[in-house]
Amino acid sequence: MSDSVQPVFTVAGIRGIENRVMPSADPPLMERAGRAAAEEAFRLTMERPGRVLIVCGPGNNGGDGLVMARRLLQAKREVTVVFDGDLARLPADAAAAYVAWRGAGGKVETELPPPPEEGWALIADALFGIGLERPLTGHYAAWIESLNSFNVPRLAIDIPSGIDADTGKVLGTAFRATHTLTFIALKPGLLTLDGPDHVGNLIVRTLDIDIAEHARPPGHVIDTTLFRDQLKPRLNNSHKGDFGEVGVIGGARGMNGAALLAARAALKLGAGRVLVSLVDERAPSVDLIQPELMLRTPEQVLAQANALAVGPGLGLDERAKAILGEALALERPLVLDADALTLLAQDDDFQRLCHDRSAPTLITPHPGEAGRLLGTDPFAVQHDRVGAAVELSQRYRSLVLLKGCGSVIALPDQRWLINTTGHPGMASGGMGDVLSGLLVALLAQRWPAESALLAATHLHGAAADRLAREGVGPIGLTAGEVCEASRGVFNGWIVQANQNGH
């Protein structure tokens, strides 16, 4: 994995690094964290002099806030600290930070005071960090609700209080930050589920720890460097046979569009030929909007394509089952989505076939489909998206893309990655079909399965992001528009990857 790719650690991983570094850390980690937070506060209040409110909790996150407060006070800033923790139960570093704060002349309020007349210059949330283990209730929950109501910069220290650092779940209620300064490394909860709605601008400070020296990250954030090796310009001396033959099978009655969208996306991402089979017998025999697509029978597609996407609008009837069985038996890269996933979840024979395949299988469930595949429900999946994706990958010996806010990719060797492109305008019909099409196009062009899944996922979101920047959406964005924009973004990546001698 390239050094520039951002690592992601679960709480257990962060604790492991802390335990290794802490005994000899000079200055201590909490001093470094508090100093980094004070620096960030200066940056955020450059144009907003005035009083900074720091709300500190009963653990080491509160300790970070107390160090931050002392640093600001020593730099002649006005600071109000709120802390009502039990001094006798404060961890050692946080207790030392408390003593140092009082020693520097700092005062402590035990209730949230009203804001000064000119308003708070900044609110810093140092209530709870990675140690939060149960829902927030009572006065802590009330404080957070109140802090969220101020329209001023709101800085979360390490993680917005109330967000579970491993899962991104809101535990009771959660601080809505405009900025989050996180320490040592990213955590999954900042990137997936409810995390992105609470973190605002995300800033990582490693606290001068060389992470690679201490631990191997279990996860990463997806970026283009992960598949840059595949981003090659085409040779002048090329022909369509060099770029593979995609097969898409789906499009039952009322769902023709799902398979056509996938097929069009495959065409726009450079597949040499795209064969599509609409299982609806009354479906048209040509796509008049995209006549380049070759409409064929399922048998012809299964026989000819060198990479297959099965499922968009496939239906759940006997014919659909027969097609899925045949596709699973072919040793060619296979994308399964939508109805194919529902059929897979229902049938032990399909599961056995899937498990025994030697060609790559790529499954792209949303949380509902993932729940069915795991024999549970969407809530359980969302409760631990990374865990669910890893389990699916193991159970189905597949590369998995679990869709949703902060899509999670899990690979058969148990590595996982989180995607940060895309936006809620993509929550609309047909988006998943386009993603399947982008993915199968790269597979047909003989990209390795892992690179294809990372690239298609990242591209799908990046295309939607570009459109939103151009005023197309986010609200009302259509899957067809993402399909078109993906082509431009992808070609741009190739140009970029091949500049400067790469």
SS3 157: strand
Pick the piece of the chain touching ligand NPW (CB under 6 A) from 29-37, 38-46, 109-117, 376-384.
29-37
Q: How far is the CB of 41 from ligand NPW (least distance, A)?
A: 15
Q: Any known ligand binding at 195?
A: no
Q: How far is the CB of 159 from K ion (least distance, A)?
A: 6
Q: Any known ligand binding at 422?
A: no
Find out whether 443 and 395 touch, Cβ atoms under 8 Å. no
Q: Any known ligand binding at 500?
A: no
Task: Identify what 57 binds: K ion, ligand NPW, none; CB under 5 to 8 Å per kind.
Answer: ligand NPW
Alpha helices in 88-214 (DSSP H): 92-103, 138-148, 196-199, 211-214
Q: Any known ligand binding at 242?
A: no
Which of residues 132 and 402 has its CB atom nearest to ligand NPW in the complex?
132
Q: Does 33 bind ligand NPW (CB under 6 A)?
A: yes
Task: Identify what 227 binds: ligand NPW, K ion, none; CB under 5 to 8 Å per kind.
Answer: none
Pick the piece of the chain touching ligand NPW (CB under 6 A) from 132-140, 220-228, 302-310, 354-362.
132-140
Please state, in angstroms and rounded to a whole number, the distance separating the CA atoms of residues 342 and 347.
9
Using the rule CB under 6 A, which residue among 76, 134, 239, 282 binds ligand NPW?
Answer: 134
Question: Mask: binding to ligand NPW, 340-379, rule CB under 6 A, as x and -?
Answer: ----------------------------------------
Task: Identify what 183 binds: ligand NPW, K ion, none; CB under 5 to 8 Å per kind.
Answer: ligand NPW
Task: Identify what 22 binds: ligand NPW, K ion, none; CB under 5 to 8 Å per kind.
Answer: ligand NPW
Q: How far apart are the first and last CA of the chain?
A: 17
Structure tokens at 196: 């992105």
Q: Does 128 bind ligand NPW (CB under 6 A)?
A: yes
Residues 6+ apart with CB under 8 A from 149: none
Task: Identify what 130 binds: ligand NPW, K ion, none; CB under 5 to 8 Å per kind.
Answer: ligand NPW
Q: Does 489 bind ligand NPW (CB under 6 A)?
A: no
Q: What is the largest CA-CA distance in the chain?
A: 82
Q: Any known ligand binding at 428?
A: no
Which of residues 65 and 219 has its CB atom nearest to ligand NPW in the complex?
65
Using the rule CB under 6 A, which residue among 16, 50, 115, 131 binds ligand NPW?
Answer: 131
Residues 6+ apart with CB under 8 A from 167: 188, 189, 192, 193, 383, 384, 385, 386
Please state, in angstroms and rounded to a whole number, the distance separating the CA atoms of residues 252 and 232.
36
Pick the piece of the chain touching ligand NPW (CB under 6 A) from 124-132, 339-347, 390-398, 451-459.
124-132
Beta-bridged to residue 204, according to DSSP, are 182
Find out whether 426 and 406 touch, Cβ atoms under 8 Å. no
Q: Any known ligand binding at 72?
A: no
Please state, in angstroms and rounded to a whole number, the distance separating the CA atoms of residues 157 and 201.
12
Nearest 5°: phi and psi at 421?
-90, 160
**Taking CB under 6 A as the criterion, which residues in 56-75 touch ligand NPW?**
57-62, 64
Could you list the beta-strand ranges (E) of 86-243: 122-126, 154-157, 179-183, 201-205, 219-221
Q: Which residues bind K ion (CB under 5 A)?
A: 125, 156-157, 161
Q: Any known ligand binding at 405?
A: yes
Label residue 285 exposed, middle or buried (CB < 10 Å: 0-12, 13-18, 19+).
Answer: exposed
Counting residues that bind ligand NPW (by CB under 6 A) gives 26
Q: At what angle do helices 318-329 and 348-356 cross, to 10 degrees?
A: 20
Pick the piece of the chain touching ligand NPW (CB under 6 A) from 25-33, 326-334, 416-424, 444-452.
25-33
Pairing assessment for the beta strands 52-56 and 201-205 based on DSSP bridges: unpaired
Q: Any known ligand binding at 63?
A: yes
> At 476, which amino acid appears?
G
Sign of CA dihedral 137, 139, 144, 150: positive
Q: Any known ligand binding at 107?
A: no
**Taking CB under 6 A as the criterion, which residues in 162-221 touch ligand NPW?**
183
Please state, in angstroms and rounded to a whole number, the distance separating the CA atoms of residues 441 and 463.
16
Q: Which of 380, 419, 279, 267 is nearest to 339 (CA)?
A: 279
Nearest 5°: phi and psi at 466?
-60, -45
Using the rule CB under 6 A, which residue among 7, 9, 10, 30 binds ligand NPW?
Answer: 30
Task: Identify what 161 binds: ligand NPW, K ion, none; CB under 5 to 8 Å per kind.
Answer: K ion
Which residues of this protein are in contact with ligand NPW, per CB under 6 A? 18, 22, 29-30, 33, 57-62, 64, 91, 128-136, 140, 157-158, 183
Which residues are known binding-site members for K(+)? 61, 125, 161
Residue numbers in the known binding site are 60-64, 125, 129-135, 140, 158, 161, 258, 313, 366, 403-407, 432-433
